[in-house]
Structure 1
């Protein structure tokens, strides 16, 4: 017994040591590459992705499995959707309603259709695979555009407000895009899963339940927590709210991200909104960084290097297509030529949410890992 106990303890110490070593390597790589890319004026997302490629199985193979890290890192996506919901205060939505639900909707729809056609024609994928790639690429990078507007003092200009409105609609569109990918899924159906119409009923009942809970439970809870002026307690209450809403949706067979998003919308008008945002954002940043590290680790560099001209050509086509469509929409809405071109260039890149949607598309058997890497 004593020998078995000692062997178990040694194995536990070894596993912990391996985990710490992998964590140290990943954090060191992330720190180095994010600093380099920030220094070059590029985004942190690209730094995380390249760090993952460098230490992953297709690079130097210094860290552990990307799949095992991805599960924990996806909590960052849940927190991100919660923070998006917090931005949707009804007064702000009403003020920017035409820009968000007019210009934003047209941008996502037209760019998504055009890019789906582009992928279908040039890449030779099936229609379902082209949709799963084209629609996510219609979204732009909030993490790139907003800091750029803020640093230039242009966020509150007409161009800046329009760009922000489009980005806000893009963030909102994550939920319907996840739903589209789930509807196209080729993954084997769970025999115990309820039919689609029943899932829709569950979703409506869960959202109503969360709204009622927000009014009669969450608001009084945060009021009580606020009296103690303990920041740690506020963080615990915030994370409890996010995870509680996510677990509720997951137990009904629905998207955890949807639960977190609804929880954020419920608290968007709360007097504690800004404090919640400040407390949750560091967790979101760290876990989202881990998510992009895991995506980078799963990137098959050989697939990309085997077709470099295709990658460069499609990247150029992505930017050119989005610039042309967004510029045209801006001109039709009455913007002058120069601001219309500026907003087209600002929103021309692909966004970080595409990686989230590509991961879901892989799970749904719509695209192979090689196609995702490409």
Structure 2
């Protein structure tokens, strides 16, 4: 079976570039190929394209263009933000608060900061993936300088009450960083309204190209970071190196498209999510994780009781679904997100993240559920 015949349901891992995005990018590989830092007409034209894209990205997330730094993606942006902010503010304290269900891009960076002498408190979550806001208040202390919590979880789709979290942190003069990668383009994201100090996100999650993302630094809150990359004054020195002009142009176009189609896509994805979950729950032993919580409209995480999870994906070779986040799905280990939520290892291993997108159809959902039911029943019959 060719890739075109398989059903792609892993849009949280990455999305196909929108044809309009590719069309917008193409001239910047050949005709308008100048270096955006060059002081001549080729460079000026490229620089104008970068600044237009910066405005497009800023409009989607409701911030000022000057508050955005282009990066290679959310992972690099998270490294820049966490290392840069924590080291700059080390004189104020060395304590950071995060959560056990964060993406590995954040968790691994925090682990590196711990080896550099920082102290990190990882908040627990309940069975639905929610943090205890009272616990957050309690663990803030005089040495706390940063709270780092994502807006929407990449595995379950759970949406954290980020505005309330920010208000709690700011009341104690603590800054807030958020990984907003999975939320941008799927739900309205208003950085000014949220009030957070730093945010990171990627282009390839919203039908833009891979290899480009953004770091947001709130100028109203006078947020700045130490620079630890060197080699030029590109992006005001925060992220030196020749700008990926075609990628940035594509990122901007993807954000512009997302802004105009946000409400329509939200309605479509919600309809598909309802259809998918109604059908999945007809499978005996199926549980939708975080089912009754506020979630992304495209993300479903389902666990199956009595199924050998180590074999589940191999029985679903006509579907592109995942066991967890794309950075860890090649490892046959229980999801750290589900384990933090109290899901037993056996159930966590027998779990699927199904994430839909703008190309998903109701017919694909019906076919996918048929394949999942068949696989689950086959595996159950083996274990009986």
Scaled to the shorter chain, the TM-score interval is: under 0.3
Structure having greater relative contact order (Cα 8 Å, sep ≥ 6):
1
Per the normalisation by structure 1, the TM-score is: 0.26
Per the normalisation by structure 2, the TM-score is: 0.26
Structure having the higher helix fraction is: 1
Structure having the higher strand fraction is: 2
